[in-house]
Structure 1
Amino acid sequence: MEDIPGRIVITGVAGRIGPTVRAGLSGDAQHLVLLDRAPVEAQDDTETAVEADITDLPALVEAFEGADAVVHLAGIADEAPFADLLDANVRGTYNVLEAARRAGVGRVVLFSSNRVTGAYPIHHHVFADEPPRPDGLYGVSKVAVEALGQMYADTFGLEVVALRIGSFEEEPDETRHLATWLSPRDCVGFVRAALTAPGVTFTVAYAVSGNARRFWDLTAAANELGYRPVDDAAAFASRFADDDPFWHGGPQGGPSTGAEAVLPFVEDAAEVEGTPATAAD
């Protein structure tokens, strides 16, 4: 697979990243299927809008018919109660992969997250094949997303690429982004590479701009997907203090990491189950 597939489904196209991916692929794909639970309007006859939820497997199978590839963006993109993450991220991804299998789709690009390894310290250079160290329940859900992708590749021969995206922003707006920024241009570049790279079975790659301070190794993206990012957050470094406490040490997930960030959602989940939440000793 070296050319952009002819018919591509984008799930979660109305979300924060969806419009960028849609615009980046619209000039080359013959047809885009724009799937979201929110209403989306097709611009012309090269697009089809489908209002559907990723929890609805039959609707996904119908929407995927005739598609060559799926870019799966839909889901919860931050810390949340575990029950919600299971429904949206884990069960939702299962439905996407199963619908792709039933519809005969060749390749699925999954949007995973750097939060899969967010508990590694900031001074550790993380390779994509190192063990996961999720920094919260959201990160755990993305570990499951990747595991589902691996299983569908190994068991059913589906071609799957899991992109561990960095901090998607127009420009960096906090100190951590000097390491984690993913520019819109590089986001599209990684997606295009994930859709077109030949010889894919199952690949996990960090999708982050070529930031001088990045934590994550980009070898897998270069060798297996053929993409090298072009932007660098260093161009914006003058906006941020050199002595920011973030750089003194701690987890790569920054303020989103740790008991204070996770416990509110653990407590919410426990209350739903009718069990008082308690912190570990």
Structure 2
Amino acid sequence: MRVLITGAAGYVGRYFARHWQTNDELILGDIHPARNDSRFIPLDITDSKQTRAALQGIDAVVHLAKQADEGPMEGDELNGKRFDVNVKGTFNLLEAARDANVKRFVFTSSIMTVQGYQAPQQVESDAEPRPVGSYALTKQLCEVMCAHYAREYGMSIVCLRIPKPIDLEHPLWKTHPLRPQWVPFPDLMQAYQKSLRAPIDGCEVITIVGESSKRRWDLKKAQEILGYQPTMLPEELGFQLGSEDEPIPDESAYS
């Protein structure tokens, strides 16, 4: 399968590019392509012509590209970037995927779309969105677009609502508490790889979070539809769990 990964030079994309262990042929798209990897192509998803060209001959899309600044920060300039990249960019990709008869489209949503459900309330895997902030709102709008394209054009789409992925081998997490919703990279990659091949008609919204004693996000849909099963339990591996809004330190400050 020829799989286009958008945002392949980003935080998640770099991990997938290094560790993807299937027979898929990866095409890595990014506005800042890595020069030392021949799989990379330049891809600005806000450019509809470039996006259509990138989708030619592609079997499936893993859409990771997003406006980089997450969280509650607001402001006209930032929000403009969020809507341009997250909403317009996703629209361009869906249009291009429809025209290219792409077999599977995996959209990266966020559990921030349901951040309005306050603890200790349990959150269903495909709960009605309650976004907090413009970043989460753009992700909700993209979920709406994905449902539209699946319904109107018969596309097969998976929207994965994910939290921050973490590399448990990073020295930072040996001393800093983890948020209970964070998902270790190997489990996240498992979810994406299963999303490419699970038998899905239409559009499915599925939550993927890390496993922990404090988990309040339902994984039943991920388990039943994708066959997803967490393999890494940070608590059992000796990592400390903090609160759901534990401050996030700058990972780049640590070697």
Shorter-chain TM-score: what band? 0.7 to 0.9
As a proportion of its length, which structure holds more helix? 1
User: Mind listing any 5+ residue stretches in structure 1 that lack a counterpart?
Assistant: 1-5, 247-251, 257-281
Q: Shift of the alpha carbon at 1:41?
A: 3.6
- 1:50 corresponds to which of 21, 41, 51: 41
> Greater Rg, structure 1 or structure 2?
1
**TM-superposition CA deviations, 1:95-143 (whole Å, max 9, x none):** 1111101111111100100100112112111002322111211111110
Q: Hey, what does 2:186 align to over in structure 1?
A: 185
Aligned equivalents of 1:160, 1:13: Cα separation in 2: 19
TM-score computed with the length of structure 2 as normaliser = 0.85
Q: CA RMSD in A?
A: 2.1
Say if 2:16 is the partner of 1:21: yes
Q: Hey, what does 1:65 align to over in structure 2?
A: 56
Classify 1:83/1:93 alpha carbon distance in 2 versus 1 (closer, same or farther; 3 Å).
Answer: same
**TM-superposition CA deviations, 1:25-48 (whole Å, max 9, x none):** 35420x21110000224646xx3x
Aligned equivalents of 1:141, 1:133: Cα separation in 2: 12
Say if 2:153 is the partner of 1:156: yes
Q: Hey, what does 1:268 align to over in structure 2?
A: none
Number of equivalent positions: 237
Classify 1:10/1:238 alpha carbon distance in 2 versus 1 (closer, same or farther; 3 Å).
Answer: closer
Q: Hey, what does 2:252 align to over in structure 1?
A: none
Give matches, 1:1-281, under 5 Å: 6-25=1-20, 27-29=22-24, 31-41=25-35, 43=37, 47=39, 49-77=40-68, 78-79=70-71, 80=74, 81-171=78-168, 172=173, 175=177, 177=179, 179-235=180-236, 239=240, 246=243
Q: Shift of the alpha carbon at 1:198?
A: 1.1
Runs of 4+ in 1 over 4 A off after TM superposition: 172-176, 252-256
Identity among equivalent pairs (%): 32
Aligned equivalents of 2:178, 2:133: Cα separation in 1: 17
**TM-superposition CA deviations, 1:59-97 (whole Å, max 9, x none):** 111111111100000012404532221101011111111
